[in-house]
Every structure is written in structure tokens, then in C-alpha cells.
Amino acid sequence: MVEDKKGNIWKKLITFQLRHKFPILAVVGLITAFFIYQITFKVSITTDFFELYPPKHQYIQLYKQYRSMFGTANVMSMVLEVKDGDIYDFDTIKKIDRITKELLAVKGVDPLQVMSLTHPRLKNFGVGSNAINVGPILKALPERPEELRALKEKVYSNEGIRGIYVSLDDKATLIYAGFWEEGLDLKNLFKEIQRIKLETEDANHKLYVTGYPMLYAWIASYTPKLYSIFLFTTLILLGMLVYYFRTVIGVVVPIISGLISAVWGLGFAGIMGYNIDPLILVIPMLLSARAVSHSVQCLERYHQDYQLYGDKEVAIIKSYTYLYKPAVVSIVTDGLGVLTIVVCTIPLMQKLGIIGSFWIISIYISVVLLNPILVTFFPPPKIKGKASQPLLKKDATHSEAKEPDTSRSGEAAYLVACKFCTSFSVSWKKWASVIFMLVVTVVGGIVATIHIKVGDTSAGRAILYDDHPYNVAARKVNSEFIGANQMVVVAEGSKKGAIGNANAMKTLEDMAVYAVDNISDAGGALTIADMTKMVFKVFHDGYPKWLLLPEDPNHIEQVFRLVGGSSTGGEMDKYISRDYTNATVIIFFRDYNNQTIKNSISVLKKYIEEHPVEQVTFRLAGGILGILAAVNEEVEYSYWVSMAAIFLLTYILCVLTYRSFVAGLILILPLACSQVLCDWFMLAMKIDLNISSLPVAAVGVGVGVDYGLYILSRLAEEYQWQGNYESALFTAINTTGKAVIFTATSLIGGIVLWIFSDMKFQSEMGMLLCFLMFFNMLGALIFIPAMVAVIGPEKTIRKYKVD
Amino acid sequence: MKKRTHLAIPILILTALLFLRPDSVFASKKGGVGAAHILSESFVNAKEGWASGLRGTVYHTTDGGMNWELQNTTTDTPLLSISFCNSQVGWVAGKSGAILNTVDGGNTWKKQILPKNRHIFALKALSPEKCWAAGDWGAIFYTKDGGNTWEDKTLPNDLILYCIDFQDENEGWIAGEYGTILHTTDGGINWTTQTSDTINTLFSISFSSNLKGVAVGLSNTILKTDDGGNKWQTVVMDLGSKQDEPSSLYSVKLRDNKGIAVGDRGWIITSTDGGKTWEQLPVPLNVSLFWFAQVEWLDDGKAVIVGMRSSVTFIENDKLKLLGFMPVVVPDKK
């Protein structure tokens, strides 16, 4: 064994820890208690909408700046559908009225954004010389059949109700409710909507509910079910530990490590005032499972060294001295890797990056610092599966220790798996393995980069199953109505009254027409210019040829003054500001995906560039589609930057650890190959990148590097010890490789239950992580040894300092 | 702003319009919901005609309105009126004095200059050389050289003139706001005001001979004359339960004894006695959603109605057939 000063440092650290174990335990215990307090009182599993928006993105800044003007983008849509007949019956109208009133009472609702057929703001009008009848479409609930008939006629004779509030076949009606992001209580909303649904639905009526507030209310409703996934996951991990070690120490210590890391990670979130979003809960679960896996690696080595040396303290010092370096390198690499998520300016991701990073760093405490101490409190391990038998005699040689024990059930299978893995690092197979990996990484990487898409489906379809009531409702809204999905362009004047200008008004109108004509999914558009034309028409006996924009600024101003003076506060704000400085172009979409949004933005940018207007600047893009555009742009950028940063960082740390550029490459390439395979998996499963899949990929890379580091370190150690690569490889794969197989399978065990989640997204991410764990395991067990064999151990692992 | 009609209209009423989400204003050149409105049409025979609308659109049909092809006008100005005197020569005019002329059936449109930038609501092409135009601020313009020069015959009073009809090159009528009806018998050299029986705005006037004519307008106003307009009589229709919610009639055509008028809220009324009595044609509820801007009799006795969202409707043997939204064949962009 090579001894050097640095090597002594690890040994001194272990010795120091063991010598001061009680003070260390006391300090860690106190801090853990403090974190438990934080978790109890400060951590909540909830969604904060503003954490999903990248605050510095120009679209989000626009949305925040003008949110009070054109209303919240978080609009819920409820469709009340009748089975037999049409909506014009007493019972249905009563139901619409009751739903409307009940929505007005839901916490967080913006009363100005609640609209329905029975809401008094929905107006009926007629133009005549002697009398003009204007008032609510529905003045009072109809009690006679002729009143129902009158309502139907009003719906038909007034523009803008059919298709917006009533479906063209008269069998469904739409009720809108906007919710302020900060005032929304998702659990309460879900409860209220379920109550309304229960009270409304009967044999002839069905209520569909969709829209962002409802999506997140659904997600929040699944939180309790997640706890059962946690419980079963813990049980699976316990079972695997029992099977693998069959010693008390082998079960208790890793579980303590996982729990302490979880407490520290969650407690840290509490201190920072961060909430845990239910959508990314799979990540904390994975982080704790990784604490368990680190602990397993350490205990596996401790068991081996105890078998070798027969002395508990010697075994502790030997095993943890050896593991200190790869463990610290691995933890630092992982921690920094997860931290790279903070390049994403979406607050949820930044917070996850910070929490995740701390969580991983806490593994140093829970495993590297505590494990050797905890081990001292347990009796020495017995032979696996044969608890009464000591492991080995004290004077056993190293070569004896490396002999595989196949007496225990499962060991034979391990041996077969290990032999299978090592077979790829000899003869022509090593070349085949390396070439295969390079081809997959380079060619596959290029293909994946081109084809993988961000936000290719709507948020509802990405998160929930296609037949989920939310998605069924979304399809109902999109097929029967227009206007549920909006993108808003703001015309920002450089001085007061800038919109009261014929050019500005015409540009608003032209942009609306251009958008509808050139954006495939745009169902229509609305601006203050349309309003102005309608008022101008009413001025002129309602004659359709007067649907013209006034050109004289005085005329425009007079129309605006009428509008502003006679509307109740806030009702016109979504179209024009009260001082006529800013206005909006609202574009309605029937359906959307990321490509639609991108095209729309591109069409609008082109129009704005080609049509400059004096004193008015057009700014993109508000509304729910503007927010999605910002999030998607940010995710797309962050995914690739974050990936590049993780790989670069991992490479640098590996180069520093192994003092070899080639060794760095050997560790990075299998990771890249795994990532490419996962990208393919995403393509095959039609999983698109979104705000929540970004951290999954980032954490996945970190897991892979763990395996690589442990395998490469063991290879280096065995090679320097034995001087023969094939023999070193066999030992490494049979010892550390076995632990890698166990940790990979235990991590998969920690994730596999997510596949059965009620949420499609969590299920897909579960599957994705399982695949990633599996590919990373194969990368570490097959590609790394193969590359070392091809390049030559002398050039790769000779300089690695083994302690 | 110039004071128009209905000064008593409460501000609330105006604002009420704003609370609607009118899908009809989703201006677009696409068909269906979101299509631009068609405001005027002109047929030269049973097959060939043109229609104009908002966003500078002009459509051409050669099969009696079954199919329409978009022509290239190179303008997006609202075109409020169109009139052809034969299959080659015609004019289309609209907002702020925009006027275009074609001498090749609409293949090419050339801009002409009117003396004043008035909105032109009515055109009447009498021959390839002669054409009348009328609009707001009492605007009356006339050309006798194919539009090279337009004479300004604007009235001294502030009136909006909405319609023109000529029986021949000498005798014609122009009508508009406040029940105004002007009459000329000398080719427009002199215009005299006829006494109508109403102060309601008249949107359309039509004569089947030099004596027999009808005019329609706001609130179902229907006027009839049998003496060339010396005396106009109001025709009262029994609106039944809809008495309190009158609609406006925007276009009328009288041919022999057959009359047809169309207007707001899907109104189509017909007369078979020269306009003495009128009956409302029952329309499906979904058609009552529409307003109709203009109606034209074709030579084969069929009536073609155009209007909101590029809708095209036929009346044949007193039966209504909603063709749907103007089917458009867009030619290659020039």
C-alpha cells in the first residue's frame, strides 16, 4: 500500500473521529434535533406558483408588472354539461348560478375574473331609436318557460356568448374563475371544487374542471398518497439491507444515515424558508437513498476488512481510511453537480439545487463522520448468512479475502453477474465495449439533442395521465370553447395617452389580425381597438359599416373617456390602462404546445420588428402562454447549461482526484453514454423536458459518478497492490462491484414504487431514474474497466494515490 | 367628436358592449369564426359578382356566389361599398376616402383620389365613366371620366349619407341620417330633399321604377313610395312579441313587386306586393346570431345576402339557405 502525507490525513481524520466520538455525537445530535424542530414547524409540501416562474425573464417581469392590470393568468375553467336536452332548463341555470356564487367565495379568487352565463356582468344589448335594452343576460333566475326561451334568444342574439360561454350545440356552458397566485390555498380549492362537483352532478349533469389552479390542486391532493410511497420505499430498502448484510449493523447503520441526511436536508429547507413542491418529491427520496448507498459501500468495505484483519478498530480505520477519499470526492462532486441546477433562474429549481446540494453534503456527516463512530457501538459482524460464525481468522491473507464466497444464497448470482461484467474488459470485447459506448454517446447524443423537446405537451398532459379528469376536462374546454388559453402582448406607451393615437390603435388591430392569420392554433384575438370600433358603431346607430377605428385623436379619447368613466373599477383594465398609456392584444388559443408557443412568439416578434410605432413599445408576452413560454425557454436553456456544467465539473474533479486527464474521461464517458440512453428513453416514452424533469437528470449524473469513483478507486488500489490488471479487475468487480450492484438495485428499490404514482409525471420520472441507475451501474461495471483495459492501467490509474 | 344620433344613449349602454367578448371582432381573412365581415356586394348578372369587406378584402364570384376568390386590392383599409356597371369596370370605396377602380374585372385595382377624405358608405356605378359616391359629412362625389377626376357635390349640412339608387343616369336618390332622402332628375346637377315620414336613419333605398321605391333603416323603419318619392309612407310591420326589441334593416331591394330587406339579428323580410306589406322569413336560431349587410337580387330570381363573418346566404323561392362562410380561393401572392 502506498502511504503518503495525504493518506495520513484521512487516517488521522478517522482516528480523530473515533477518539472524540461522544462530543461529535452530541454536536450532530443537537443539530439534528434543531433540524427536526425546523421540519416540524417550517417545512410544508406545497406549490408556490411564483416559484415556478423565472423572475428575471422578460415575460415574467411583464406579467408581474401588468398582472394587476390584465388579471391573473391562473384561470380555472369549469364546464357544466347536460346529457339530455340543452342548458336552457331551470335546473341547469340554477346550477350555473350557484356555482358562480360559490366560486366568488373561494379563497384567493379574483372577483373580477369570475364570469359565467348568469353573472350580471355578461350583458345583453339591443340598439333602436326609441329604446335600447341593456342589462344582464340574466336579470333573475327564470321561472317560466318563456323566460328560458328569452334567455336562449339573448344568448343567440348577442355576439360573444356562444363559443365563449355556451357551446355551439347548447349542451355545455363555461364558467371562468381567476385566482391570484399568492392567495391560493390549493387544498382548500380542491376540497371546494369536489364539494361543488358533488352538489352539481346528477344523472343529467356533469361538471368538468380544468386550468392551472385545478392542476396544482390535483397535485396537492395526491400529497397524502405520497406518504404511503415513502413508507413502502423504506420497507423495501430495509428488506434489501437485511438480505444483503444479514447483520444488525448492516441494516441499522445505513438506515440511520439515510434518516439523518433526510432530517438535515429537510431541516435546512426549513431554515431557508423553502417549501417542498410535491412534483419533485422523488428527488429528496433519491437523495436519502443515496445516503443509504454510501453507507452500504462503507459497511461492505468494513465487513471485508474485518474479515481480513479480524479486529474491529483496525477494520474501521482501514476501511474508512480507504473510503474517505472516494467518498469525499463523490460527495463533493455530487453536491456541486446538484448545485449546478441553480443556473436555472426558476426559483423552485434554485431552491432545489441549494437544498439538494446541502442534502448531499450532509452525507458527509451521516456517513463519513458518523458511520465509523456508529460501527464502534455494534459487535463485530459475523459471516453473512451465518451469524454465529466469525468471518475469517485474523491472519487471513489478502488473496484469501478476495475469494468469493458462494455459500450464501444470491452470491452465486452475484458471481455470474460479476464474471459477465469482467468479460467485457478482456480480449476483443474490451474494444467492442468502448467502440459501442463511443458510438452511442456521440451519434446517439446528436440524435437525442436534435429530437428531445421542452414542454412538448401541455402541463396537464405532462403531469397527469391522459384519462385523468383534469385532462378530460381540458379536452372538453378546447373542443367546445375558445378563449381558455391566452397570450397577451402589452403595448406600452412612452407617455400618458399614447394609445389614443390612430397609428397605435391600428397597429393593435393589425397585430391581432396578423396573429390570428399566422398562428395556427389561434382562435381569435381581442384588443381595445375592437372595443373602440364597437362603441363607434353604436354611436352610429349600430350600423355594421361603422365598425371602424376613429382616426381623430379627439374621437379616440372621447371613446376612451366614455369607457373609463362608465365602467366599474378594473373591468376594462385588461384591455387598456386607465390613463390610456398601455394596452393589450389578447390572443386566444384553442390548444397549445411548446412549438405553438414558440411559433407564436416568433410570429409576434417579427410583426413587432416590422411595425414600429411612435411612442409605443410592444412587449411580449403575458397570459398563461407567456408564462409557459418563459418557463420553457428557461428550462431549455438550463437543461443544456446545467448538463454541461455538471459534466465539466465532474470531469475536473475526477482529473484532480486521479491526476490524469484520461482518468477523468474514463469516468465521464460512461456517464454521458447513460445520459444519452436516458434521453432516448425519454424520446421513446414521449417524455418531454419540463421544469420538473431537469433536476432528475442532474441528480442522475451524480449517482453515476459515485459508482465510477468507487470502481475506479478499487481498480487502482487492486492494480497497485496486485500488479496484474485482470486479477485486479476480478477483485474490484467482486467486491466494490458487488456493492455497486447492491446500491444500484437498492436505489432502484427506492424509486421503483414511484412508477405506481397517481401522477404520470412522477411515474415517468421514477421509470427514468430506474433506467438511469441501471445504465450508470452498467457503465461503471463494464465501460470503465474496458476503457482502462484499452488505454492501459499504467496510463490511467497508476498515479491515483492509494492510502 | 361630431354628434351623431341617439344623444340620449346612456354611457352605460356603450360600456355594456365592452363587457362582451365579441368573437365577431376576431378579424381574420380565414373563413368561419374569426372571418372578416363582408359589407357590400355587386352583381352584374346571375353569375358574376363582387363583395367587399373589412381588412381591404374584395371577393369575386363567377358562379352566382357559390365560390369566391380573393382579389388583390393591395390595401387593408375597410372597404364599405362596391359597385360594378359591367363585368369589367367597377369601384370599391371605404374608410377615409379610400377608393379603388378596376377596368379588368378586379384583376387589378388602382387607387383614385376623392376631393375629401370622407368615409364612403355608398357607391353607384352607372357606366364605365360615371359613378356616384356618398358618405359622412354630407359627402357626395361624382365622376364622369372613369374616376380620373371626382367632382365634389358635398352637402352644406352635416349628414351621413348611407345609400344611393339610380334608375337611369338622370334620376336617382340618396338617403341617410335623420330620414333624409335626396332626389335628382338631372343627373345630379340639382338635388332636392324629399319629405320622408321618419327621422330615423335610412340605410338603404331601392326603386323598381321611377315611381315605385322603398327605403329601410333604423328600428325596422320601412318607407314606401308610389310616386317617385313625392310622398313617402311608413309601413308598419307586426313584430308580435318582438315589438320591444326592434332590429335595424340595413339593405333593401325592390324588383317589380318583389321586395327583400335584411338587417340585424338575422332579420330577412320579404314583400310580394311592391313593399306594401312585409313578412319576416323564419330563420333558424343560429342564423339569428348574424347581421346581414346587403342583399342583391340576381337575374335568376335568387337573392344573395352577405354579412357578418363573411356569411353568404341565399333566398330562393322564399326559402333560406345558409351557404356558410364565404369559401375563399386565395390566388398566389403577387
- DSSP letters spanning A728-774: HHHHHHHHHHHHHHHHHHHHHHHHGGGGG-SSHHHHHHHHHHHHHHH
Question: What are A795-798's contacts with CB under 8 Å, separation 24+?
Answer: A795/A660, A795/A662, A796/A658, A796/A660, A796/A662, A796/A663, A796/A666, A797/A658, A797/A660, A797/A663, A797/A712, A797/A715, A797/A716, A797/A719, A797/A720, A798/A716, A798/A719, A798/A720
Mutate to test the interface with A, among B5, B26, B239 (most CBs of A within 10 A): B26
Report DSSP state, residue B201. Answer: -
Query: Percent of chain A beyond pLDDT 90?
Result: 2
Q: What is the mean pLDDT of residues A624-652?
A: 81
Element (H, E) at B60: strand B57-61
Residue A3, pLDDT above cutoff 70: no
Distance, CA of B246 to CA of B280 (rounded, Å): 12
How far out from the chain centre does Cα A106 lie? 28
Contacts of A475 (CB under 8 A, 6+ apart): none
Residue A113, pLDDT above cutoff 70: yes
Q: Which residues of B touch A509 (CB under 8 A)?
A: 27
The end-to-end CA distance of chain A, in Å, is 7
Q: How far is CA A413 from CA A410, A420, A752, B289, in A?
A: 5, 10, 22, 76
Which tens digit of pLDDT belongs to each residue from A42-100? 777 777 777 778 888 888 888 888 777 777 778 888 999 999 888 888 889 999 989 99
pLDDT attached to residue A457: 61
Distance from the Cα of B80 to chain A's closest Cα (Å) equals 6
Q: Provide the 10 A C-beta neighbour count for residue B178.
A: 14
Q: Which of A761, A765, A749 is nearest to A237 (CA)?
A: A749
Which tens digit of pLDDT belongs to each residue from A403-453? 445 455 566 777 787 788 888 877 788 888 888 888 888 888 888 777 777
Q: What is the mean pLDDT of residues A268-278?
A: 81
Q: What is the mean pLDDT of residues B222-234?
A: 93
Distance from the Cα of A445 to chain B's closest Cα (Å) equals 42
3-state secondary structure A136-195: ECCCCCCCCHHHHHHHHHHHHHCCCCECCCECCCCCEEEEEEEECHHHCCHHHHHHHHHH
Question: Among positive and negative, which fits the CA dihedral A454, A456, A457, A463?
Answer: negative
Q: Which of A542, A544, A629 is nearest to A589 (CA)?
A: A629
Which tens digit of pLDDT belongs to each residue from A716-747? 888 887 878 888 888 888 878 887 887 788 77
Which tens digit of pLDDT belongs to each residue from B249-285? 999 999 988 999 999 878 889 898 989 999 888 877 6
Chain A contact present for B240, CB below 8 A:
no
Q: Which residues of A touch B287 (CB under 8 A)?
A: none
pLDDT attached to residue A399: 42
Which tens digit of pLDDT belongs to each residue from A169-184? 788 998 988 888 777 7
Distance from the Cα of A185 to chain B's closest Cα (Å) equals 29
Distance, CA of B38 to CA of A358 (rounded, Å): 66
Distance, CA of B226 to CA of B276 (rounded, Å): 10
The whole-chain average pLDDT of chain A stands at 79
Q: Which residues of A touch B10 (CB under 8 A)?
A: 132, 134
Which tens digit of pLDDT belongs to each residue from A252-264? 888 888 888 888 8
pLDDT attached to residue B240: 61
Query: What residues of chain B, 26 to 45, have a C-beta less than 8 Å from chain A?
Result: 26-30, 33-34, 37, 39
Range of A500-514, B32-46, B77-91, B233-247 with top mean pLDDT: B77-91
Banded model confidence at residue A523, pLDDT cuts 50, 70, 90: confident
State whether B244 and A543 contact (CB < 8 Å). Answer: no
Q: What is the mean pLDDT of residues B217-242?
A: 85
Do residues A346 and A690 lie in contact, with contact meaning Cβ atoms separated by under 8 Å?
no
Q: What is the mean pLDDT of residues B174-181?
A: 94
Name the residue in chain A with its Cα closest to that of B120.
A545
Query: Percent of chain B beyond pLDDT 70?
Result: 81
pLDDT attached to residue A126: 45
Q: What is the mean pLDDT of residues B16-37?
A: 39
Q: What is the mean pLDDT of residues A14-25?
A: 86
State whether B6 and A160 contact (CB < 8 Å). Answer: no
Banded model confidence at residue A8, pLDDT cuts 50, 70, 90: low
Q: Provide the 10 A C-beta neighbour count for residue A630.
A: 29
pLDDT attached to residue B123: 96
Q: Which of A94, A85, A101 is nearest to A200 (CA)?
A: A94
Contacts of A723 (CB under 8 A, 6+ apart): none
Residue A226, pLDDT above cutoff 80: no
Which tens digit of pLDDT belongs to each residue from A341-378? 787 777 878 888 888 888 888 888 888 888 888 888 88
User: Which tops the pLDDT comparison, A562 or B9?
Assistant: A562
Which tens digit of pLDDT belongs to each residue from A590-621? 767 777 888 888 888 888 888 877 777 888 88
State whether B26 and A524 contact (CB < 8 Å). Answer: yes
pLDDT attached to residue B230: 92
Place of cell 465509523: A372
Banded model confidence at residue A564, pLDDT cuts 50, 70, 90: low
3-state secondary structure at position B305: strand
CATH topology (fold) of B9-325: Methylamine Dehydrogenase; Chain H (2.130.10)
Q: Which of B96, B103, B104, B55 is nearest to B77 (CA)?
A: B55
Report DSSP state, residue A689. Answer: B
Chain A contact present for B111, CB below 8 A:
no
pLDDT attached to residue A1: 39
Place of cell 362582451: B20
Residue A9, pLDDT above cutoff 60: yes
Q: Which of A689, A637, A697, A691 is nearest to A672 (CA)?
A: A697
Q: Which of B164, B158, B192 is nearest to B178 (CA)?
A: B158
Chain A contact present for B19, CB below 8 A:
yes
**Neighbour-count burial of A560, counting CB atoms closer than 10 A to its CB (0-12 exposed, 13-18 middle, 19+ buried):** buried
Query: What residues of chain B, 204 to 233, have a C-beta less than 8 Å from chain A?
Result: 218-219, 221
Residue A429 identity (one-letter amino acid): K
Banded model confidence at residue B183, pLDDT cuts 50, 70, 90: very high
Distance from the Cα of B53 to chain A's closest Cα (Å) equals 9
Partners of residue B91 on adjacent β-strands: B83, B101
pLDDT attached to residue A4: 46
Taking the whole predicted model, whether its pTM rises above 0.80 is answered as no
* Beta-carbon pairs below 8 A across chains A and B: 189
Distance, CA of A728 to CA of A723 (rounded, Å): 8
pLDDT attached to residue A662: 80
Which tens digit of pLDDT belongs to each residue from A661-709? 887 888 888 888 888 888 888 888 777 777 666 677 767 777 777 788 8
Banded model confidence at residue B88, pLDDT cuts 50, 70, 90: very high
Mutate to test the interface with B, among A133, A165, A541 (most CBs of B within 10 A): A541
Q: Which of A291, A259, A257 is nearest to A374 (CA)?
A: A257
Report DSSP state, residue A45. Answer: B
Place of cell 358574376: B48
Q: Left if phi > 0, otherwise alpha if psi is -120 to 50, otherwise beta: which for A385?
A: left
Partners of residue A618 on adjacent β-strands: A491
Place of cell 482501514: A318
Comparing A226-235, B109-118, B321-330, the range with the smallest average pLDDT is B321-330
Residue A105 identity (one-letter amino acid): A
State whether B17 and A523 contact (CB < 8 Å). Answer: no
Do residues A771 and A683 lie in contact, with contact meaning Cβ atoms separated by under 8 Å?
no
Query: What residues of chain A, 116 to 155, have a C-beta less than 8 Å from chain B?
Result: 121-123, 125-135, 152-153
Annotated domain spans of chain B: 9-325
Distance, CA of B73 to CA of B58 (rounded, Å): 7
Q: How many residues does chain A have?
A: 803
Do residues A204 and A87 lie in contact, with contact meaning Cβ atoms separated by under 8 Å?
no
Q: Which of A409, A479, A388 is nearest to A77 (CA)?
A: A479
Q: Provide the 10 A C-beta neighbour count for residue A184.
A: 23
